[in-house]
Structure 1
């Protein structure tokens, strides 16, 4: 597919006001796309699958310089930044310029206006992500220049957005899911009149696609399977060691409501740590090759060698485990969340920081067990591996976890007694943990879901009086308003403040206008977009 055709179809989707119309247009695009996996990812602003660790690593300065360099006329990076401040979004800025300013050997694209294809754009992005070492920033800039220099303004708009990872066309994960179902699992025909197709896929088709996306974390791959093999092909898709899935999440809840809804609950301590997913596969030499992924699906194996060592020592079989890494002091007392972040952010001197910040791994769920594992006896529990456990009730997943991991399983108590839950909460808080997690004993594991089957119970906390000490301008229609606020507390006994976090959500446009009017006269200095 030519990238110009992709851009034209995406622009039509961006203009479409209705949800059903968006899905219908998207389904039609997917049916027509030859580079189906790439197109499916591109419409979500993804260059690679969600589980893929590659990143473009292109900063705003490089992107602005590339746009300026490829634009016709004497355009500078400063001009691009000024235009960005005015319109608030880099795609709209790129669409304002004519490209193909350079030709010949120095143009890194031949200077021809030979039509770009979706495949060429993807190949370029892959090369950008692979660039490393000395001069890699220049290499990335040159590679991007090669495609911008061949782009029409309408194409440059979406090229720039893809580089930033934000397509801004009103297409989310749900729309992509529904479009795949409509395009390849239902009758392949869309309704609607007035020239705009609409789509309302069947519940069964949507469920089949959703499950496949959950276990693959790649809507592009799912679209290809749905097209080529239909619902039967999607049903065969399973978890794979080394391919992380999104974590199941908890919502807030009370003990009284929980017991009224479920009668009994599995009670676990809520750790003040960092969520991780441990993947262990056979290493070909009788041991296990272990990878550790963060909640954001980033590979953090190198930063957490003791978690790798623990898994190799105590796992009885290949597996995918869900758990938490907690920083502890010399006595094993949990340290604040900020301490464990020091480990996650460390790429160098890991051994030194390991001595400074020790961590422990607490596993609380098992998503997959691979071969060889002989299993165990138990009603309604599989007795042999390999097995995916996403659809297995929590009670039984816990049995699998305890059977496959010899040490490091987080304690859990199933009870219907509110008094016992209160006692467990007091013990958890006294031990330095955040509170409790309450889980429905029969709940399945739904990757990425924050449903009512898991509930977190934290103690009430005191409020803080904070001062706004910094802010960032918004984007798009909020480009002229302050949108993200740095908040700080006063340092005791000193005439200064220290930042404690940022606040960026929950504001209406009217509220942001009032806050901007109040804060703008107090801006002492500004950097970047103004």
Structure 2
């Protein structure tokens, strides 16, 4: 533990005089005042230079105190545990307590270890010797070094290089640390579907920082107002505290194990025990370890390492540096780049040999692409790093798909459709290929996993679209599954894709998603259910031990209808089962259009268009001539894909269809303070869409219409200025505000659906910039809030490509006559009173 000189006890003057003389308050408080100033103004008294020099690319402090590339010893500052910010004392030295004599100053080396630059081209990254003692496990400081590099850049190339080189080093020198490294880089510690949380609230983390650093609550709040990030606060609060004895270096495996231990602490006194565990880790942490340890506790490490980036980097690391087992047993593996190939690429780059560089890099790129495709395919079907890394460390990448297959009880990423805005678009893209149109119900998507475990028992798990386990929420659906097993002896296991929809039992009519969301989420009992549901099944991915993902949809649907019949159990409260209502393209376009009209008039969101069989069409981007290439249209189940090329599954929502008002799924990333009646709320709100090429959320428009007063109040609660979801500083690196300058920035974590008049060119927005115009982005005119999409994650937000497609279609129809959006929100034809009325019309769904 840290040894610090505490202030004298606040007893009577007489008692204080007897115990020890009162220390004179220093008249010069420069060192104390500097501690509470902004990070950029903190000065090393020895050199009179900023400890945290300002950087255009890194406005907040992201490094330990460094001057001219060398670590400097921070000034020793003591902040007494006092509620009075002026009642502070200065400590002249760090004191070591001894039982055999007086206290003596000691010098403990707290400088972080030096690591090589990780952002270089992976083929040029040389690590002939381990960067940490080979007798120890991989230190957490190395991972913190990688995280620090990641947080200082938005370049996708630099991010991939950094992740690749960091993982290569760990694979080479400490393979067992690969699994915890992936979890820590992914801002998690268990698979997404496992219900285990750290349970560390902001108050626990704040108290731990106070106890370890000795900083007062008021000073802590002042630091938070300056930085807006708990990790930065902890770094600044503890960087001036020296320990008396060196602590053993924190290891990646040790941090991961500690997180698991914290998450498993339950029962009476759990909060205090968790705080104690956090304090022990903070005491041992040094340098950047402090910052990223606290951010990990907060479950927000603020780096651009998305799941796709981590998987891509892992694949490249294993190609360049295979595991020891794979290197020995699979020297001829198609996934391994031999040392000579890596050297050839490096020499070609160093000598600027364009011909050699292209030749060798193409060969290496081919291996990268093959390995990345394999890892992503395995992960979307089996999103569990524990199983994947165990198989990789055992035998490498070869045969990974067979060793980590689709498994009952482990959810796979759901197949997603590409939005379409008219049936004309559907026929244009699919052509004459047979397809089916299905109702897209307004409910909650569910994966039903079930398997017989013997003795008449069954294991049942229900997973949401985001892979969250919601088995406890739907005991009526679990009862339905048991009914299927009881009535069918031929069925031993299955995975069904379906939609849970609220229904009115008396009239067999559908209810809204809002009514479904009113059900309790935990400890639901069958006889207490008030909102009845029906399970509408639309796909079958697994049956009796066999994966069906590669079978065409026609075959999967036939098996679904054969093994699962419509059911209405007699048990009170039990869920019903039925198949989605559908219409075949063979019935003619007139039948499809009539079916579409029924969907628009019902409580459905639209249609899902699915190819029945594998087919081919001419590429849309090439002239339809005899020499045009054909594009394959597989009717397989494609987990996790939502790309324009994936047209075997098409989402034709009624809000997307021309003439009914286009909608976008957007992410709120900022806001301004309201005026007049809305002064206490956020209005307008800055909205963003996804740029798939950079993994960023790019601002598209401001919105101030469609909100009710109740929604404004709930939004102010979710995005209060003292919460982790709101900051005056742009803390989140995956957000690009473009020409907008909001008063506050929001953490991107929820999806809203909005509707607009049309899409226009904008000199302010950066959304889709370069797709339709070289110097202008796209924006939405007169955007209006529709509802919160609780069923979608931010990864499901509309893409810049989709927005560009909307604009091109409008231009083709002549809906936009060269108009541009200059950032105006208000229709000049509307008065202020009409605008206020307009904002009060729509209640939150």
Do Structure 1 and Structure 2 share a fold, with TM-score over 0.5?
Answer: yes
2:743 aligns with 481
Residue in 2 aligned with 1:176?
A: 310
Report the equivalent of 1:340: 516
Per-residue deviation, 1:287: 4.2
1:232 to 386, 398, 413: 398
Higher CA-based Rg: 2
Relative to 1, partners in 2 of residues 1:287 and 1:467: Cα closer, same or farther, differing over 3 Å?
closer
Please point out which of 71, 87, 90 is paired with 2:230: 90
Cross-structure match for 2:539 = 365
| Correspondence 1:317-466 to 2 at 5 A | 317-330=492-505, 331-343=507-519, 345-351=520-526, 353-354=528-529, 356-370=530-544, 386-407=545-566, 408-416=578-586, 417-442=588-613, 443-451=635-643, 452-460=647-655, 465-466=706-707
1:36 aligned residue? 178
- What is residue 20 of structure 1 aligned with on the other side? 157
- Deviation at residue 405 of structure 1 after TM alignment: 2.1
In structure 2, list runs of 5 or more residues that go unmatched.
Answer: 1-137, 319-334, 351-360, 486-490, 567-577, 614-634, 664-704, 732-741, 753-784, 799-820, 826-845
Alpha-carbon distance change, 433 to 294 in structure 1, aligned in 2, over 3 angstroms: same
1:305 equivalent in alignment to 2:475: yes
Secondary structure in 2 aligned to 1:91?
helix
**What is the aligned-residue RMSD (CA, Å)?**
3.5
Match of 1:10 among 132, 144, 147: 147
CA distance in 2 between partners of 1:349 and 1:209 (Å): 38
In structure 2, the CA distance between the partners of 1:421 and 1:85, relative to structure 1 (3 Å rule), is farther
Gap change, CA 1:52 and 1:188, over 3 Å in 2 = farther
Structure 1 residue 215 displacement after superposition: 1.4
Q: What residue is the counterpart of 2:296 in the other structure?
A: 162
- Choose between structure 1 and 2: higher helix proportion: 1
Deviates more, 1:153-162 or 1:399-408: 399-408
Tell me, yes or no, if the aligned pair for 1:65 and 1:76 is still in contact at 8 Å: no
1:131 is the counterpart of 2:236? no
Instruction: Provide the rounded CA distance (Å) in 2 between the counterparts of 1:390 and 1:81.
Output: 53
**Which structure has more RCO (C-alpha within 8 Å, separation ≥ 6)?**
1
CA apart distance, 1:146 = 2.1
Aligned to 2:101: none
- Counterpart of 1:258 (choices 413, 423, 426) is 426
- State the distance in 2 between where 1:502 and 1:84 align: 31
Deviation of the 1:401 alpha carbon: 1.8
The farther-off stretch of 360-369 and 9-18 is: 9-18
Give 1:369 deviation, angstroms.
1.4
Q: Which structure 1 segments of 5+ residues have no match? A: 105-110, 371-385, 488-497, 516-530
**Structure 2 CA distance for partners of 1:424 and 1:7, relative to 1, 3 Å:** same
Cα 1:40–1:500, aligned 2, differ >3 Å: closer, same or farther? closer
2:231, 2:290 within 8 Å by CA — same for their partners in 1? yes
Does structure 1 retain, via aligned residues, the 8 Å contact 2:224–2:233?
yes
2:254 alignment partner in structure 1: 120
**Once the 2 structures are TM-superposed, how far is the Cα of residue 475 of structure 1 from its aligned partner?**
4.4
Normalising by structure 1, report the TM-score: 0.80
Q: Which moved more, 1:324-333 or 1:413-422?
A: 413-422
**Separation (CA, whole Å) in 1 of partners of 2:248 and 2:653:** 60
Change over 3 Å in CA distance of 1:341–1:26 after alignment to 2: same
TM-superposed CA distance for 1:305, in Å, is 0.9
Structure 1 distance, partners of 2:338, 2:481, is 47
C-alpha contact (below 8 Å) 2:440/2:605 kept by paired residues: yes
Among candidates 35, 45, 53, match of residue 187 of structure 2: 45
How many pairs does the alignment contain? 474
SS at match of 2:190: coil
The 8 Å contact of residues 730 and 745 in structure 2, kept in 1 or not, is answered as: yes
- Whether 2:278 is the aligned partner of 1:144: answer yes
CA distance in 2, matches of 1:78, 1:346: 38
Shift of 1:267: 1.2
Give the TM-score normalised by structure 2. 0.51
**Distance in 1 between residues matched to 2:158 and 2:317, nearest whole Å:** 13
Secondary structure, counterpart of 1:169 in structure 2? coil
CA–CA separation in structure 2 for the residues paired with 1:134 and 1:338:
36
Give 1:245's match in structure 2, choosing from 392, 402, 412.
412
Task: From the superposition, tell whether residues 286 and 482 of structure 1 become closer, same or farther in structure 2 (CA, over 3 Å).
Answer: same
Aligned-partner SS, 1:456: strand
1:101 Cα deviation after fit: 7.0
SS in 2 for 1:95: helix
- Between the aligned partners of 2:280 and 2:312, the Cα distance in structure 1 is 35
SS of 1:202's equivalent in the other structure is: helix
* Structure 1 residues 500 and 171, CA gap change in structure 2 (3 angstroms): closer
Q: CA deviation at 1:220?
A: 5.6
* Structure 2 CA distance for partners of 1:398 and 1:271, relative to 1, 3 Å: same
Q: 1:501 to 1:430 in 2, by over 3 A?
A: closer
